With several copies, the nearest count.
Chain A
């Protein structure tokens, strides 16, 4: 166990009261408690308020393009399976612009931990509907209310047999830390959709709103049971379950790639001379 201070970096540029602070603190505490050193993990993010997180925690960081965190993370995780690779990014980033990568990262089952700061809004660009915005919520660009069905990341992940599927809430930090720890310990792609109030642009899904509704999935819920997990994932409204909905033990992509069987790619030496023989195939 290390001191959490070791994990602090730049001062966050978030709004006072933003749910992101709790998330950041929890993540720092998690890393400290697990004694994972800053250089032992990499955080990849896209663009948005959430995506600024890697600047606020000491880590290796790749703050990439809006929506494109997962492919970058996949590239890192495949090349260096010894690195703990996490993605911290927003709901718009991950489920909107990056939706296709979300699907296919789940299918690949690379060892990436995906922490989505789900504030049900586009924060950084000042309040447009995101895929998770509640139906009917009006914004400056959704004058008739958000008309598309609210995106359900958990149900979708379970439908794709995602290796680890959970929901947390930044107002419940201890539990969130437990979920993060479990996700990190899990071997496989792990999604935690984290309810994170945006105090500036989401006046509906506030701290109070979530607090009134969230509850922990109880012991009777078996995360191995995909049907039960799916049923639970559909629950939203007056009560919103948090916890580990689903987990399985699908093999890791990287375990199935022969070039990785001996050691991470990044550690393998290269000898140009040895490759030149390939020319013989063309005679």
Chain B
């Protein structure tokens, strides 16, 4: 059965929908400020969507943090900005064009040595106000937060808890002074801004909202799926997963080991999995490249493992802090020899949370490598969402342990079975021995070289499992009318932006999104009618964050269906709903 999105949300028209951009150098604290603002609004039960743009450096350069706040769910960035907090002169130059006609630019006149004229400017001496309020220069960030609250006339109290939490380890004085700085910023904006009438808040929703990004959702998902061992080597944009898990190591009893390289990372994780616990590793494209031999080892030894591959623009080091979907076919085909694998490509943090849960389940059930593939955009974007639904979470321990194992008369690691799945025993818990081998082997796990055993093992490991695996894959999600004339096809992190574009265009077009959150094995065509729907549509545009259209290729090679057109972006920046809408419109006009 085709899964349908619960309700079609209509694009927000006149509803509250603002974008705030904080821009400046790395090291100016824009990340802290942005995160705090996002949290304040989500606590107020507004929908929030944030994304970040940062350079591969620790200080200086030019970065930004963009926050969208609205009463309806928001799932992508927009082009226009209503509030620009410019932490330096350069940020004004770069982003002034993006300002909404009613927008306002906050800047520190003591920092930007220039008199900037007009209503659109709200000179705000961040550090100065902080000092006036009795604090230190560094508390200018709190002034900026206060000023934003001021624009919307949200009382500074709303910031209290968030500020307190973000400074948890600081002394009370610092917290008090920061809160005073928020108040100062608030008053400054209320007093000095000439455009206050353009900023209004609608009543927020009733529901408590989560605010979570992709790496957090993946890591949280791993904890709830029973991950007990995580080894990895730091690599943007996957590092957030390790940071989250390391923070939970003690309480949740998860070993987090930083390996000397990615080869070690995957092999350690395989060792832990062999020993009897669920294990995972994560990396980005370059690290995955180094892991492919280990992926093949997982397959041959039938050792369960979950691998999160968070993409960034390649080849090689590429644009290390930006986004791209360019490792799809590499993940689908990586590793020498032939073996089954699963590749999940969630589109939102919530989907990522569930994907990781499914990944651990499938990896252990079928004793195969399972991938969760994301990208920098998914990793870093924060989404608000209703509390995650735990009812569909799986947890079943498929391993043969302790007594159950001990009671067996015989045990052979690779017993031939109809399903291809052999019992997976934990070594050491009984006199039975667990022997695994990267060479072709017999049922006992010992090296063989004869052709007949080889054939049987390939059938067991590959053909039989593959047959069952196909049925585990969910069909793509159709969002929009059931008989669309235009279909925007996507997978992975473009989910949110495509969805919004469908909303933007659905009053004038019969348009829908077809989103694949599980891409390998490719979703079977029989059960769900997605191929019929594609074939019946006039325009089928595959939207991808890459240069060659890898998903369009995969779709074609797996189903024979060729999209009528492709929309590709490969400059490392995400689509905004506005830019994608334009591209789609242009496409439709061309044809």
Contact = CB atoms under 8 A, between A and B. Distances in A.
Interface of A: 9-10, 13-16, 37-40, 42, 44, 47, 49, 52, 54-55, 58-68, 70-80, 82-83, 96-97, 99-101, 103-104, 122-126, 128-129, 131, 140-144, 200-201, 257-260, 265-266, 268, 270, 272, 275-276, 278-279, 282-283
B267 interface: yes
Given A60-B435, A66-B317, A265 B253 contact: yes
B565 to A, nearest CB: 36
Given A97-B260, A143-B249, A272-B395, A265 B433 contact: no
Contact of A72 (B27, B250, B268, B446): B268
B254 A96 contact: no
B258 A14 contact: no
Most buried by B among A44, A63, A72, A270: A72
Contacts of A100: 260-261, 263-264
Given A42-B427, A97-B260, A75 B231 contact: yes
B228 A73 contact: no
Contact of A15 (B60, B250, B431, B438): B60
Contact of A124 (B58, B250, B436): B58
B388 interface: yes
A68 B209 contact: no
Contact of B248 (A76, A278, A279): A278
Given A78-B255, A131-B260, A259-B250, A272 B267 contact: no
A246 B560 CA distance: 65
Given A16-B59, A49-B58, A282-B216, A83 B427 contact: yes
19 contacts: A13-B447, A39-B427, A59-B433, A60-B428, A62-B301, A64-B270, A64-B297, A70-B264, A72-B268, A76-B271, A79-B255, A79-B275, A101-B260, A104-B264, A128-B234, A128-B239, A143-B247, A144-B250, A275-B252
B38 to A, nearest CB: 11
B211 interface: yes
B268 to A, nearest CB: 4
Contacts of A42: 275, 427-428
A65 B250 contact: no
A266 B271 CA distance: 12
B322 interface: no
B294 interface: yes
B264 A101 contact: yes
A272 B428 contact: no
Contacts of B223: 275, 278
Contacts of B346: none
B340 to A, nearest CB: 19
B127 interface: no
B453 to A, nearest CB: 14
Contact of B294 (A10, A13, A61, A65): A65
Contacts of B430: 39
Contact of A64 (B234, B239, B277, B438): B438
Given A65-B294, A71-B264, A259-B253, A13 B301 contact: no
B57 A13 contact: yes
A10 B444 CA distance: 11
A72 B260 contact: no
Contacts of A276: 224, 390
Contact of B243 (A13, A131, A140): A140
Interface in B22-45: 27, 43
Contacts of B293: 65, 68
Interface in B209-256: 209-212, 216, 220, 223-226, 228-229, 231, 233-236, 239, 242-243, 246-250, 252-256
A59 B387 CA distance: 48
A78 B209 CA distance: 38
Contacts of A64: 267, 270, 297, 301, 438
B214 to A, nearest CB: 13
Nearest to A276: B390
Contacts of A52: 447
Given A16-B59, A63-B447, A96-B233, 12 more contacts: A13-B57, A59-B433, A65-B294, A74-B271, A83-B427, A200-B58, A257-B255, A278-B220, A278-B223, A278-B252, A282-B220, A283-B210
A96 B232 CA distance: 13
Given A283-B208, A283-B210, A71 B267 contact: yes
A101 B290 CA distance: 14
B492 interface: no
A105 to B, nearest CB: 9
B279 interface: yes
Contact of B388 (A70, A72, A279): A279
Contacts of A79: 228-229, 255, 271-272, 275-277
B439 interface: yes
A96 B260 contact: yes
B426 interface: yes
Contacts of A73: 271
Interface string B415-437: 00000000000111011111111
Contact of A71 (B268, B388, B390): B268
B431 A39 contact: yes
Contacts of A257: 255
B109 interface: no
B436 A63 contact: yes
Interface in B371-403: 387-388, 390, 393, 395, 397
B445 interface: yes
A200 B59 contact: yes
Interface in B497-546: none
Contacts of B555: none
Contacts of B250: 143-144, 258-259
Interface string B53-72: 00111111100000000000
A16 to B, nearest CB: 6
A65 B58 contact: no
A189 to B, nearest CB: 14
Contacts of A259: 249-250, 252-255
A58 B431 CA distance: 11
A47 B236 CA distance: 12
